[in-house]
Amino acid sequence: MDDKKKITIKDVAKHACVGLGTVSRAINGASGISPKTRKRVFESIKELGYTPDVIAQSMRSNKYKNIAFFIDISNVAFSKIAKGIQYELDNLGYILSLCDIGDKNVIEKVMTFMNGRKFDGIILSLPREDDQELHQFFSSIKIPIVTLDRDIPDIPAGITTDYFSSVKKATHYLLSLGHKGIALIGGSRHIRPTRVSIDAFQEAYNEKSIPCPEDLILEGQLTSEFGRRAIYDLLPKIRSGQVSAIFTLNNQIFQGVLHVLRENNLEYPKDISLITFEDYELTQLLNPSVTVIRRPLLEMGKSVSRILIKYIEEPDLYGKIAPSVIPTEFIIRDSCKFL
């Protein structure tokens, strides 16, 4: 990282003919140093090409300039969110340490990762909200933690995506097209996005005074495997016309659905109408293109970092800032037909 021999704060002090502490004060923008001295110190720093050793700084100051990000990497959304986070963090001199927690054995992975390590803050996107053991673990940590669209007791949400309004909009859209049998396939009520979406779905039906088909609300996991299973079970109802539209709340589920549809020679929008969450290359390039709800992933990453950093810099605020509400967009394309 450095050039030849490590040049330390000591060298700078000597070069600038000041004491160790003075250099430190200059670096940290602390008070109690005259502008003149400060300037001289900075000149020496520049001349010597000195860079503070982050490790040594950390040891003394308990600041690490390091954020941990726990997420299931398999989710396509991840890379864009990560990009947003990293972008924001970069500007502030923090780095991102990545931990893939997959979707099982989460606690074990988290603990291994944290073991003896130090971070200034944590960004959390857990596969479920009801893992008591995990909550307990995170609660015992006294650094700021912030979640991505999760309602977890004692841990403030950094951002909260407005699934409600777009799911309602989408459901209304389907309803207005004449669909009554809409199957909603999502994760479990134990994660916020699914929970909120179900509420919105039901409310849309209620507003039109159409009875909501509770048996068509399918809760499971955010995997393509679950999508396959769900749609497979739905096949008879699709064929009988009882179900005329499918609304998937996650891209992996959507992919599973698509597979089974294909295998069974079911075409959309002819045989079945489709709406899904997450707008990405697949939904755009599929033919016909797919009606979707889009989340601004990059922006989500940036927002969540901003809040986390604020908490880190002003610990007193922790938990007191309302999460950024991220808007979503309902984009109508060609995957739904008029009944």
Partner DNA sequence: GTGAAAGCGCTAACAG
Partner DNA sequence: CTGTTAGCGCTTTCAC
43 binds, among its own copies, DNA, none (CB under 5 to 8 A by kind): none
User: What residues numbered 6-35 form the site for DNA, per CB under 7 A?
Assistant: 6, 8-10, 17-25, 27-28, 30-34
Q: How far is the CB of 4 from DNA (least distance, A)?
A: 12
How many other C-beta atoms lie within 10 A of the C-beta of residue 43?
A: 13
> Is residue 20 near its own copies by the rule CB under 8 A?
no
Strand, helix or coil at 164? helix
**How far is residue 90 from each of residues 121, 135, 307, 309, 327, measured CA to CA in Å?**
15, 29, 15, 12, 25
Query: What does the block give as tokens for 270?
Result: 């002819």
Of the residues 43, 46, 47, 61, which one makes contact with DNA according to CB under 7 A: 61
Q: What is the dihedral of CA 307, 308, 313, 317, to 10 degrees?
A: 60
Count the alpha carbons within 13 Å of 238 in the hemisphere toward its beta carbon: 23
Q: Does 56 sit near its own copies (CB under 8 A)?
A: yes
Give the integer Cα–Cα distance in Å for 72 and 229: 21
255 near its own copies, judged by CB under 8 A: yes
Which parts of 99-118 interact with its own copies (CB under 8 A)? 99-100, 109, 112-118
Q: How far is the CB of 271 from its own copies (least distance, A)?
A: 14
Cβ(273)–Cβ(129) below 8 Å: no
Residue type, 2: D
Q: Name the residues that contact DNA, by CB under 7 A.
A: 6, 8-10, 17-25, 27-28, 30-34, 36-38, 50, 52-53, 56-57, 59-61
Q: Name the residues that contact its own copies, by CB under 8 A.
A: 1, 3, 51-56, 58-59, 64, 66, 73-74, 76, 78-80, 82-83, 86-87, 90, 93, 95-100, 109, 112-119, 140-141, 143, 255, 258-259, 262, 281-282, 285-287
